[in-house]
Amino acid sequence: METVSSGDTLTASAYPPLALRFSGRGSEYFGIWIVNLLLTILTLGIYSAWAKVRRIRYFYRHTELANSSFDFHGSPIRILIGRLVALAMLLVYNYTVRVRSPWILLVLLVFAVVLPWLLRNSFRFRLYNTSWRNTRFHFRGSVGGAYRVFLLNGFLTLITLYLLAPFTHQRFKAYQHNNSWFGRARFSFHASAGRFYLIYLILLAAIVGFGVVIGLGGLGSTFTALGQVQRSGGHVDPRAMIRSLLLVYGALLLFGIVIGPLFHALITNLIWSNTRLENHRIECRISPWMLMWIGASNFVLVVLTVGLFTPWAAVRMTKYQAECIRLLPTSDLQEFVAAEPERVGAVGEEAASAFDFDIAL
């Protein structure tokens, strides 16, 4: 997808490209996955925070660059707190929206003020807790920057009926990547908004073509109406229900198997191939076709095995995507310096403050 000035400059370079290597195996991950599931169900979900840490660690520690693996240092307790806060916010939001309470404006206002700040803190949590060669990553985006990206650009996107969505996506990635650090080395982002628009146009064309073929609109509304009755405890002829369910499901499935991976591959390639760490370039070449194939075959195998194939599927997907990423180094990667100890201490303390939790549910 992305054409980094490969060829002569690279072959002339003393430092060959370094691909990420992923050495995880489905059979190993199965043990971790099933023990995670068992303990989570036995603790009615509380263990899921610990399960998440084990899962992330398994994937990070099996991902290697230049013979050194990544590591994750997040604390399960903080993740648990993050989940509880997210759950509480979700409940408050759902409640006020459903009741159409006069408080809704206040709640929305509080959300608008709090969410950008929470998202920024969640980036910080994730990066600060990621390390390579005992050196941590950092996210130093300002709160003001988060408000600009999430509130201002988000608002502009809404009032322009999503015409600005690709632009907002670009601003968001620029905020995220331009403020990321590895030790004292800074990442930078170079993809223009124009290139985001190009990919969104491809997405739009694919969706329109797809929508015309399937005629999803009419089908979708019958389905929601039927679902509504069923959920309210009414009796609907179950066969009609299942027929429309299968149709909608089939349409969604095709969508998820074809258009999802296409967009994901194009946008991921664009984003990572235009991200640099100081003057080390990154190159990402995920093939949409491979992604579709892995996604579709994973889907079939997971269904056939009643879910038991899940760990193999997750490993396959991660391995393929990770190994599509290469670093084009301009050094032997030995010179990265960790942020100053006192600086780390300060960041560490901040990171440990009660609000620096992981918000991903």
Name residues contacting other proteins, limited to 187-226 (CB under 8 A). 221, 225-226
Say whether residue 8 binds other proteins (CB under 8 A). no
Among 204, 337, 346, 352, binds other proteins (CB under 8 A): 337
Candidates 18, 19, 40, 93: give the one binding other proteins (CB under 8 A): 40
By CB under 8 A, residue 72 contacts other proteins: no
Please report how many Cα atoms fall inside a 13 Å half-sphere around the Cα of residue 250, on the Cβ side.
Answer: 10
- Kindly tell me which residue out of 21, 126, 133, 285 binds other proteins, with binding defined by CB under 8 A: 133
From 74-82, 102-110, 284-292, 304-312, span contacting other proteins (CB under 8 A): 304-312
DSSP per-residue string spanning 101-129:
-TTHHHHHHHHHHHHHHHHHHHHHHHHHT
Total binding residues for other proteins by CB under 8 A? 74
Site membership for other proteins, residue 43 (CB under 8 A): no
Residues 237-296 that bind other proteins (CB under 8 A): 237-242, 245, 249, 252-253, 256
Structure tokens at 262: 């296409």
* Burial profile 268-306: b = 16 or more Cβ within 10 angstroms, e = fewer: bbbbbbbbbbeebbbbbebebeebbebbbebeeebeeee
Triad 306, 308, 314: Cα angle to 5°: 120
The verdict on 330 binding other proteins (CB under 8 A) reads no
Given 2, 15, 28, 264, the residue binding other proteins (CB under 8 A): 28
Question: Which amino acid belongs to residue 121?
Answer: N
Which 73-112 residues touch other proteins, going by CB under 8 A? 98-99
- For other proteins, the closer of residues 38 and 213 by Cβ is 38
185 or 328, CB closer to other proteins?
A: 185
Residue 346 within binding range of other proteins, rule CB under 8 A: no
Q: What is d(CA 197, CA 170) in angstroms, rounded to the nearest whole number?
A: 9
Cα–Cα dist 75/273, whole Å: 31
- Return the residues of window 146-185 that contact other proteins according to CB under 8 A: 183
According to the binding rule CB under 8 A, does residue 236 interact with other proteins? Answer: yes
Three-state secondary structure call for residue 340: coil
Q: DSSP letter at 335?
A: -
